[in-house]
Amino acid sequence: MEYVNVSTTQNIDLQYKIASVGDRILAYLFDSLIMIAWMLICFFAFVEPSGPQFWHLVFYVPVVFYNLLCEVFLNGQSFGKMVLKIKVAKLDGSELTFASCLIRWVMRLVDISLFSGLVAFVCVLINGKGQRLGDLAAGTTVIKLDTTDHFESTTFVNVPEDYETKYSEAVNLSDEDARVIKEVLVFVDRDNRNKGEVRDYHPMLLKTQNAIKTKLGIKEVKGTAKQFLEDLLKDFNHNHK
């Protein structure tokens, strides 16, 4: 399984699994079945016995714009991508925009439609970041969502009822900051387990600590970098009860 580094808005690189070519093909086939089913339903439900009429073309609009609308309104996923648990993501860590989705959709003409997906297939294989031409133009890739880490990837942590915040500056933490902190903690924990060691001063922890300290204007840190980030995450949850 290949990985790609996605930069967050705090300039911290996090690793995500790249969606395999197989996953993307299966998602495409599933989406194709949905579109075919839609057209068949419209044909049998609305086409008159005298034959198709010009106005029936309106039923093709959802098919033409299917991928664009799905990625815009379903946060980088189509229904096929949902089934395969993959999604489109920006490489710079920013939110997926309409412009990015539009570029990917327009480039589908070259990537998939004109050459039956051959261009996309070859490009994804040789690119190294799971990108077809549309992804290269839009600055995106398609990543695999690890459902085993779904709960860990949320910003939620248990906080006692009588908990007192450690850092008053935590009120200025954004949802994105908290998500990055949690993902860094999960990543470091997994990395330590894989290497059979415990490093409270893991380079990723120190880099994240420095980035958050600078952003929030925190001068003094209590405990290790890991403890600092864990306390901030508890403070965030306490402030958002």
Question: In this predicted model, what pLDDT tens digit does every residue of 6-33 receive, in sequence order?
Answer: 666 555 666 778 899 999 999 999 999 9
pTM of the model: 0.65
**Residue 148: pLDDT above 50?**
no
The domain segmentation of the chain, as residue ranges, is 3-145, 168-239
Q: Residues 160-214: pLDDT tens digits? A: 888 888 899 989 988 888 888 888 888 888 777 777 776 667 888 888 899 899 9
Q: Give percent helix, percent strand, percent coil of the chain, each to the nearest 5.
A: 60, 10, 35
Q: How high is the pLDDT of residue 76?
A: 93
Q: Residues 207-239: pLDDT tens digits? A: 889 989 998 999 888 888 889 999 998 998 888
Looking at per-residue pLDDT, the higher value among 50 and 182 belongs to: 182
Q: Report which of 240, 229, 170, 169 is spatially closest to residue 204, judged by C-alpha positions.
A: 229
How sure is the predictor about 68, in pLDDT bands with cuts at 50, 70 and 90?
A: very high
